[in-house]
Amino acid sequence: MPQHPPRDMRVRLAKSRQTWLGIALPALATLVAANILINVWQSWRDLTAADALAAQRLDVQTSLIEKNIRDRIDALNGTIGVARTLIDAGGLTDASLRTLAATLRDSMGNIDIAVFDADRHVRAESRAGVSNALPELAAALTRMDTRAPTERWTPVQWRQNGAVLISADNRDRTGALNAVIVVFVPLEQHLLDGVTLAPGTAIRLLDSAQRLIARYPLAASVTLGERAPDTATRRPGPVEGTAFVSSRTDGIERLVASRRIGVGQPLAYWTLEVGYAVRTYRRDLRFSVYLNAAGAACVLIMLIGGTLLVRREKALREHVARYTQMISTIVENMPTPVAMIDATANDILLANAALLDTFGALAADGQPFSRLFGHADDWSSLRENPTDEPVPMLARGGTRHMLVRCTRLPPNQAFDTDSILVTLADVSRHHQLLKQLRTAADFDPLTGLANRRYFASAAEHAVDQARRLHRPLSVLALDLDFFKRVNDTWGHAVGDRVLQIAARLFEASLRDDDLAARVGGEEFLALLLDTDLAQAQTIAERVRLAIQDTPIMLDSGKTLSQTVSIGIALFLETEADLTGAQERADAALYAAKQAGRNRVTVAAVDASDTSSSA
């Protein structure tokens, strides 16, 4: 047997292809990194923009509050000025002070005014007994300097709110102290009139000694009038005049704007601090940042998952490659022919050495697999309907009968398309022996036609094919007319000769694909494949005429004429087998004999199976 060069079957089957995920993974990693950087940059940019916008709004709001405070300071300075005028003009009375206090009620609330002489005795007051109710009044009067002009603005605790106690001197023309003016201003919410505060706003008003004058909101840990400890850390804000302040008292970080407001003496001043809670005005932005972070985290997790999948796939492909290499080694060294066939194109994808040794170049890669069969249609039939019957195949040494086994395989690492694994087993010797045995068992020894057993087997295959392909199938039932007279008159030897000649004429009148069989003494049947009733009638008439017109020579030199009666029936796809068609053909044959013999009768195809004569 000629040797073929070794085929690298294992290399082809074990070859692994990198998937699209493995190819795209570096690009995905780059995109994920870029996405994270873009999200970080966008979040930082949004954060900066939000801080700048909040700082601008804070600056405007601080300016409004500062204006309110300055207006009230100016009003209080005017009040002190009016009180001095009353003192100098001699018009100072309780009534005049009540009138003066009433003019400030709408803007400043309920303020109290009292005037004392140089000895600290009450000269007039806007409300009876007010001098006894004012907090820290004695200390304020004591601090008044008799030698130099003095004006003090002192924060004091007043109920739940703070207040400011203003003490100012009044001097005569010689510069001597002749009166002390005291104005008591409760700091309620009038400082914020006309100002709409943003959520989370906090306000502090401190004097130059860092004592707390007013606060918003009201609840706080530092008592009004006490020194406010500087326990906050600061860093520059986005706009000049602002700062980020983290309070150690409440733990809240605020964006704070400050203003310095002069009061009283030239070196005295108040400090206004207005702050926005950073977490409040960044709330919406924080939600957006969290979404971006969550999105980036999801993409990162997907990237990590993809990396793990690629590694897992690589390990699986290596495992498959090792397994495939082992399998391919086994297949390559199998002594029987094996091939991989493209299930769509029916071309050979791969063939082992045994297949090439058996069939030669016809079994090379890319060749149509059907070319290896004696009948190309056998391959199509075997794919759909596997059989245990051997089929003829065109081997290098001639026609060989092979058992064909087909296994459908899904797309795999080696082949992108569906494929069929085909294994062949050479049973030519067994087939020849079986054929010889079947010849003795399946054919009539007198006429050489198929016997009843072989006809029944052939009828099953014919019925399956007719039903599968939806093609017509007809049956002929033939009987020799008056055959008993031949045996009775001329003997059984002449009868056998008549049977032989009639059988030869019968088979010769049929087509190559038709099957003639002897099923009784003078009874015959025929299977007419792919034949309707009209075609079957034509064939039956040809048989009848061939037998009628052929004289049969006897040994004595005399001749005999023989006629036949024929019944025809059509197989119906609704029937399970050929039994019904045979019965209808026999009924048509009986009708032909009843009608005078030597004729063809066709069985009707209606439900009642009635017959009609031709």
First-to-last alpha carbon distance for the chain, in angstroms, is 62
Distances (CA, A) of 248 to 225, 227, 244: 20, 16, 13
Of 168, 189, 163, which is closest to residue 179 (Cα–Cα)? 168
589 within 8 A of 581, measured Cβ to Cβ: no
Q: Which residues contact 454 (CB under 8 A, 6 or more apart)?
A: 438, 442, 443, 517
391 within 8 A of 382, measured Cβ to Cβ: yes
> Beta-strand (E) ranges in 294-361?
338-342, 348-351
Element (H, E) at 537: helix 533-548
Q: What is the DSSP letter of 443?
A: B
What are the tokens at 92? 């100072």
327 burial (CB, 10 Å; 0-12 / 13-18 / 19+) is middle
Give pLDDT, residue 435. 62
Give pLDDT, residue 382. 84
What's the count of helices (H) and strands (E) in the chain, helices before strands? Answer: 16, 24
337 within 8 A of 424, measured Cβ to Cβ: yes
Q: Which residues contact 539 (CB under 8 A, 6 or more apart)?
A: 476, 509, 510, 511, 514, 528, 531
Residue 410 or 60, more confident: 60
Model pLDDT for residues 535-577, shown as the tens digit of each residue: 999 999 999 999 999 999 888 888 999 999 999 999 999 999 9
Of 335, 362, 320, 341, which is closest to residue 421 (Cα–Cα)? 341
Confidence of residue 526 (pLDDT cuts 50, 70, 90): very high
What are the tokens at 178? 């002749």
* Phi, psi of 82, deg, nearest 5: -65, -40
What are the tokens at 250? 């409440």
Confidence of residue 15 (pLDDT cuts 50, 70, 90): very low
Q: What is the DSSP letter of 7?
A: P
| Distance in angstroms (rounded) separating the CA atoms of residues 216 and 249 | 15
Question: Among this protein's residues, is 522 annotated catalytic?
Answer: yes
What's 468-490 look like in SS3? HHCCCEEEEEEEECCHHHHHHHH
| Distance in angstroms (rounded) separating the CA atoms of residues 560 and 551 | 6
To the nearest 10°, the Cα dihedral for 588, 594, 599, 601? -20
State how beta strands 338-342 and 201-207 pair. Answer: unpaired
Residue 175's CB is within 10 A of a number of other CB atoms, namely 10
User: What residues are paired with 169 via a beta bridge?
Assistant: 180
Q: Please name the residue ranges forming H helices in 186-282.
A: 278-281
- The full length of the chain comes to 614
- Helix, strand, or coil (residue 502): helix
26 burial (CB, 10 Å; 0-12 / 13-18 / 19+) is exposed
- Backbone φ/ψ region at 129: left (φ over 0), alpha (ψ -120 to 50), beta: left
Of 2, 32, 13, which is closest to residue 332 (Cα–Cα)? 13
276 within 8 A of 54, measured Cβ to Cβ: yes
Rounded to an integer, what is the distance from CA 362 to the centroid of its chain? Answer: 46
Model pLDDT for residues 350-387, shown as the tens digit of each residue: 888 888 888 988 888 889 998 898 888 888 888 888 88
Mean pLDDT of the chain: 82
Give pLDDT, residue 323. 67
> Beta-strand (E) ranges in 282-418?
338-342, 348-351, 391-395, 398-409
Catalytic-role residue among 240, 522, 523, 575: 522
| Distance in angstroms (rounded) separating the CA atoms of residues 579 and 600 | 20
Model confidence, pTM: 0.46
Amino acid at site 415: F
Point out the least confidently predicted range of 138-142, 244-248, 411-415, 461-465: 411-415
Q: Which residues contact 252 (CB under 8 A, 6 or more apart)?
A: 202, 246, 277, 278, 279
Has residue 123 got a pLDDT over 80? Answer: yes
Q: What is the DSSP letter of 230?
A: -
- Packing angle, helices 533-548 and 492-509, rounded to 10: 140
Residue 592 or 61, more confident: 592
State how beta strands 338-342 and 348-351 pair. Answer: antiparallel
Percentage, residues of the chain above pLDDT 70: 86
Confidence of residue 230 (pLDDT cuts 50, 70, 90): low
Q: Which residues contact 394 (CB under 8 A, 6 or more apart)?
A: 359, 362, 371, 372, 373, 374
Give pLDDT, residue 75. 84
Point out the least confidently predicted range of 68-82, 259-273, 407-421, 448-462: 407-421
Give pLDDT, residue 610. 39
| Distance in angstroms (rounded) separating the CA atoms of residues 535 and 583 | 20
* Phi, psi of 263, deg, nearest 5: -140, 150
526 within 8 A of 506, measured Cβ to Cβ: yes
What average pLDDT does this structure show over 298-307? 77
Give pLDDT, residue 26. 78
